[in-house]
Amino acid sequence: MSKLRASHVRRSSATVITTQERQRPRVAFYSHDTMGMGHLRRNLLIASAMTRSSVSAEALIISGASETAWFSQQASMDCVTLPALHKDTCGQYKSRSFDWSLERILAFRSRIIAATIECFQPDVFVVDKVPRGIGNELDAALSALRQNSDAHCVLGLRDVLDDPQTVQREWKASASDDAIARYFDEVWIYGDPLVYDSIAEYGFSSEVADKTHYTGYLDQTARANRKHQTDHSVDADNKQPLALCVVGGGQDGYTLASAFIQDGVPEGWKGVVITGPCMPPVERKRLNSLAECHPEIHVIDQLVETDDWLSQATRVVAMGGYNTVTAILSFGKPALIVPRIEPRQEQWIRAERLQSLGWTSVVSPSDLKPGVIRAWLENDHVPAPDKSQINLDGLLKICGRLESVVQMNGKCGEGV
């Protein structure tokens, strides 16, 4: 494991961090962030757990999502926001705001990332999903860390990336195995091999497999237990059953959200649809128009903490992203998953595995006919997660890994 230095000054051309400033270990997160909010929210949850752990880490999020500042404020931490990228339905990247080539926007982002890492001087650097970053934009920062510091570098992966053939092809094309061997000390998989054995499914090399640890799923109740200031508070005193529809970031969630509204909810229930910040404005407007004919259903079309609502839901209708599904498992909610199937198979694979374990219900988008959602809501006998069978210790294990680095290799955190 790498050495966390608390007893001397580390110098760079940008900053000098004194011994007094080096009382707490510093953890930087690079958040893969081109489609939806899942990557950002997952990293913020992990970072928040680290700041509250016994070592009281200082955490910084580096992300290209424009919503980073809002979510970071909710988590009481700081962030650096990169110029944003956009991924289209074919999986191609481009600048979200500038009329620039992909090469130019990636070079811009790469320089910002490298400068941020140089100034922040992390003791631990957690990279989300893509070992070299989007378009290899992390190469400069990772190389500098290996040459000029002894930071502990971690690659963090969700439980399912895509189908095995696609992952193996993409990892080979991007020389990911070589990058992990050269730059990373550990690989953390935020999941349980009982659900999906990523090492076996993706054929990790022996060198990568030896560095890999399954953490268990990340308990989302840790996020909902914090107090949030939102314009739409959850009415915990209302005893009406609540049917909640969530569509992740929302960029491709209109079909599911509109089907939920048009089906309506059972008599005596109330319904809530959270559109997500990435849903196009014209589609949000259409959903609000549809809901006018269903006064029992309310559309929330602004940023809110979804887990606050999910914790109060009676049943959940959702797409199959990692954070949403893990929240469903964490709160033990009966859920109907209608997963995204393009451009990646990730959500479909995860949903099928969970259905096979008897924890969720699943409907393919092609089978989402009128009445399907209403029939599921009215069915008294639907599967629900059995929390006694689910490994939700991910945050505890991750903080334990951090504490081991600190205790074995330095004195950061002592007396904090």
Decide if 72 is inside a domain: yes
Tell me the residue range of the domain where 62 lies: 20-219+393-409
pLDDT band at 77 (very low <50, low <70, confident <90, very high): confident
Same domain flag for 202 and 232: no
Same domain flag for 62 and 88: yes
Of 269, 272, 315, 260, which Cα lies nearest the Cα of 297? Answer: 272
Same domain flag for 239 and 167: no
pLDDT given for residue 68 in this prediction: 73
Same domain flag for 56 and 151: yes
Decide if 8 is inside a domain: no
Decide if 269 is inside a domain: yes
CA distance 326 to 391: 11
Same domain flag for 249 and 209: no
Same domain flag for 259 and 363: yes
pLDDT per position as a tens digit, 355-382: 999 999 999 999 999 999 999 999 999 9
Question: Quick check: 14 pLDDT over 50?
Answer: no
Decide if 164 is inside a domain: yes
Same domain flag for 192 and 79: yes
Q: How is residue 102 annotated by DSSP?
A: H
Residue type, 102: L
Same domain flag for 262 and 136: no
Same domain flag for 193 and 303: no
For the chain, the domain total comes to 2
CATH number, residue 318 = 3.40.50.2000
Same domain flag for 132 and 247: no
Q: Give the helix/strand (H/E) hosting 153.
A: strand 152-158
What integer best gives the mean pLDDT of the chain?
A: 87
Question: Quick check: 180 pLDDT over 60?
Answer: yes
404 forms bridges with which residues in the sheet? Answer: none
Question: Quick check: 11 pLDDT over 70?
Answer: no
pLDDT band at 90 (very low <50, low <70, confident <90, very high): low
Please compute the mean of the pLDDT values over residues 43-63 and round it to a whole number. 92
Judge whether 29 and 60 are in contact, CB under 8 Å: yes
